[in-house]
Amino acid sequence: VDIYEKLPVPFGLVRFGVAPDHPEVKNVINTFTQTAHQERCSFYGNVSVGCDVTVEELQRAYHAVVLSYGAEGNRRLGIPGEDLSGVYSAKDFVGWYNGLPSNKKLKPDLSSETAVILGQGNVALDVARILLSPLDLLKKTDITEESLEAIAASQVRRVLIVGRRGPLQVACTIKELREMINLPDTKPLLDPTDFKGLKDVVKELSKDVRDKIVDLHKAGMGYKTIAKQLGYWGLKFLRSPLEILPSPDGTKASGIRLALNRLEISGEEARAVPTGEHEDVDCGLIVSSIGYQSLPIDPAVPFDLKQAVIPNTLGRVEQVSGLYCSGWVKRGPTGVIATTMNDSFDTARSVLQDVESGHLDFSSPKLGSEATRALMEKRGVVPVSFSDWEKIDSAEVRKGQEVGKPREKLLDIGEMLTLARA
């Protein structure tokens, strides 16, 4: 099995998407490393599939090709003002504090007191938590030094997390919600009227939803004692973004206009419907966390632009024999790491079934990496091996230990490649 990766470093979303204060989630890297060390597995980093080598070339070199490249794009808000300075996608904001090289120049403006996050999923809560976390907590993580310095100088004291529907539909998991509720030196700002009438239905809800409602209600009642209050956070329900309001000179965001919604219930579905009323919120930082989006990788690969996925059946790409997909590009950007792992196991089962059934033709040998290495050499592409990555890894760990962190991620691809080739 050969693994091709666009960046010189492996682990994708685990390295660049998981919050810095969730080191236990990153432990899956140990399993990935064990796999990469097996004799029958090779890693080729710094190779952009679709550019340095095409999918058709990979298909000619291998009996089976699995596409598992995630979701690099953002869902747009589609409202006036979303391109103003001070408005960021959660993908880019998370990439900035997690050391994704393409986001190292983001430099978000943290000079306003209020930040608004659009969306109430786990990523939205990650962003809110990082903005309000005490520095002593963040200093012990692998957050980038540049991000840590920016957060240390941040003026953000209030974070509003906005959702278009109500408390029963809040998308985050109970774990993320409890982390937010228990975040030191912060106080929840919750409107008790948002929970009016829910007491009558809470017993009929699933345990996960019931626990979230109970915890939110407790938080709203102010049960938490705070010794030193540094920040506030709140969930604003039944609101949808209408417009980003510009500053007087029109160069940056100074607020957001939110439509007030009501819920229309049809069976188990709850739909947010605008009431015609709106409210304005003053803020200088707006983070859109309404979803990631996969992008086409190569003209040879079918792609459903509307659903932003590769059309497939159990991971088998439709109408292309020997081509498979896994993860977010297979089913959309939902779920946690365990969801994606189980999904990839399903795709692996499909590949193995096709091997056993003879659907994959092994009658003629294929050259594998021998063919792709020759192509890349002609094109001046120098791959990074897993042992090369381990040189980068050692340098990052060493640099982090000097300041009491698990690692200090390198942000410059050129610096990574210099280390890898040393």
Cα 209 → chain centroid: 23
Kindly list the distances between the CA atom of residue 37 and the CA atoms of 1, 8, 31, 40, 368, in Å, as whole numbers in the listed order.
12, 17, 10, 8, 18
As a whole number of angstroms, the distance between CA 32 and CA 28 comes to 7
Residue with tokens 């890898």: 420
- Picking from 182, 159, 144, the residue whose alpha carbon sits closest to that of residue 110 is 159
Name residues of the chain where pLDDT drops below 50: none
Q: Is 394 left (phi over 0), alpha (psi -120 to 50) or beta?
A: alpha
E strands along 318-405, which residues?
323-325
Do residues 309 and 48 make contact, with C-beta atoms less than 8 angstroms apart? Answer: no
Beta bridge partner(s), residue 85: 252
Cβ-proximal residues to 337 (8 Å cutoff; 6+ apart), any chain: 13, 14, 18, 25, 28
pLDDT, residue 206, reads 84
pLDDT, residue 247, reads 96
Tell if the pTM clears 0.85, that is, is over it: yes
Kindly list the distances between the CA atom of residue 422 and the CA atoms of 36, 133, 338, 386, 417, in Å, as whole numbers in the listed order.
21, 38, 36, 14, 8
As a whole number of angstroms, the distance between CA 15 and CA 10 comes to 8
As a whole number of angstroms, the distance between CA 106 and CA 228 comes to 31
